[in-house]
Structure 1
Amino acid sequence: MFSSERLKGIDVFVCVAESGSFTAAAEKMHLTGSAISKSIARLEARLGTRLFQRTTRRLSLTDAGTSFYRTCTGVLANLEEAELSLKAEASEVRGSVRIDLPGALGRAQILPILLRLAQDHPALTPHISFSDGFVDPFKEGVDIVVRIGGADAWPDTVGQRCLARERHLFCASPAYLARQGMPLTEHDLQQHQCIAYGWVDGRINPWNFTDDQGATTRRQVAAQLVVGNGEGILMAVMAGCGIAQLPSWLVQQQLDEGTLVEVLAHRATEGMPINLAWVKSREALPKVRVLLEALVTGLTPIDDGDR
Structure 2
Amino acid sequence: MHSSERLKGLDVFVAVADLGSFAAAAERLNLTSSAISKSIARLEGRLGTRLLHRTTRTLALTEAGITFYRTCTSVLADLEDVEQALKAEGDEPHGKVRIDLPASFGRLHVLPLIMDFIRLHPLLQPHISFSDRFIDPLHEGIDIVVRIGGPDTWPEGLGHQYFGAQRLIFCAAPAYLARHGAPTSDRDLEQHHCVGYGHSDGQVSPWFFKGRQPGEMERRTPQARIAVGDGEGEVAAVLGGHGIGQLPTWLTQRHIDQGTLVEVLPDLATNGLPMNLVWLKSRENLPKVRALLDYLLPRLAPHGTRQAD
TM range, smaller chain: 0.5 to 0.7
Structure 1 residue 267: deviation in Å?
Answer: 6.9
Partners of 1:80 and 1:281 within 8 A in 2: no
1:221 aligns with 2:220: no
Shift of 1:168: 4.3
Partner SS, residue 245 of structure 2: strand
1:57-68 alignment, distance < 5 Å: 58-62=60-64
- Residue by residue, what CA displacement relative to the aligned partner does 1:121-174 show, whole Å, maximum 9, x if unpaired? 27456657553277787998976544445679x998876555444354322346
The 3-state SS of whatever aligns with 1:205 is coil
- CA deviations on 1:35-78 (whole Å, 9 max, x unpaired) are 33211222344x3723537475754245xx78877876675465
Alignment match, 1:172: 172
- Name the CA distance, whole Å, in 1 between partners of 2:26 and 2:100: 26
- The question of whether the paired residues in 2 share the 8 Å contact of 1:176 and 1:241 is answered with yes
How many Å separate the matches in 2 of 1:193 and 1:8? Answer: 63
Which deviations, in whole Å up to 9, do the C-alpha atoms of 1:1-32 show, x marking residues without a partner? 9564443223334556x659664982795455
What amino acid does structure 1 have at the position aligned with 2:35?
A
Q: C-alpha separation between the residues in 2 aligned to 1:218 and 1:27? A: 60
Number of aligned positions between the proteins:
294
Percent pairwise identity: 43
Q: What CA RMSD, in Å, does the superposition of the two structures yield over aligned residues?
A: 4.8
User: What residue number does 1:237 align with?
Assistant: 238
Amino acid at match of 1:60: T
Question: 2:106 maps to what in 1?
Answer: 106
Partner of 2:300: 299
- Identify if the C-alpha distance between structure 1 residues 116 and 69 changes in structure 2 by more than 3 Å, giving closer, same or farther: closer
Q: Which runs of 5+ in 2 are unaligned?
A: 305-309
Higher mean displacement: 129-138 or 269-278: 129-138
Unaligned runs of 5+ in 1: none
TM-score between both structures, scaled by the size of structure 2: 0.67
Aligned 1:1-307 pairs, distance under 5 A: 4-13=4-13, 19=18, 23=22, 26=25, 30=29, 33-45=33-45, 47=46, 49-52=48-51, 54=53, 56=55, 58-62=60-64, 76=76, 79-90=79-90, 92=92, 99-118=99-118, 121=120, 123=122, 129=128, 131-132=130-131, 144-148=144-148, 161-173=161-173, 176-177=176-177, 180-198=180-198, 203=202, 205-210=204-209, 211-212=211-212, 214-223=216-225, 225-255=226-256, 259-261=261-263, 263=265, 265-266=267-268, 268=270, 270-271=272-273, 273-277=275-279, 280-281=282-283, 284-285=286-287, 287-302=288-303
Distance (Å, rounded) in 2 between the aligned partners of 1:128 and 1:3: 31
Deviation at 1:244, TM superposition (A): 0.5
**Residues 246 and 206 from structure 1, CA distance in 2 versus in 1: closer, same or farther, beyond 3 angstroms?**
same
TM-score, reference length from structure 1: 0.67
- 254 and 289 in structure 1: CA distance in 2 versus 1, 3 angstrom threshold: farther
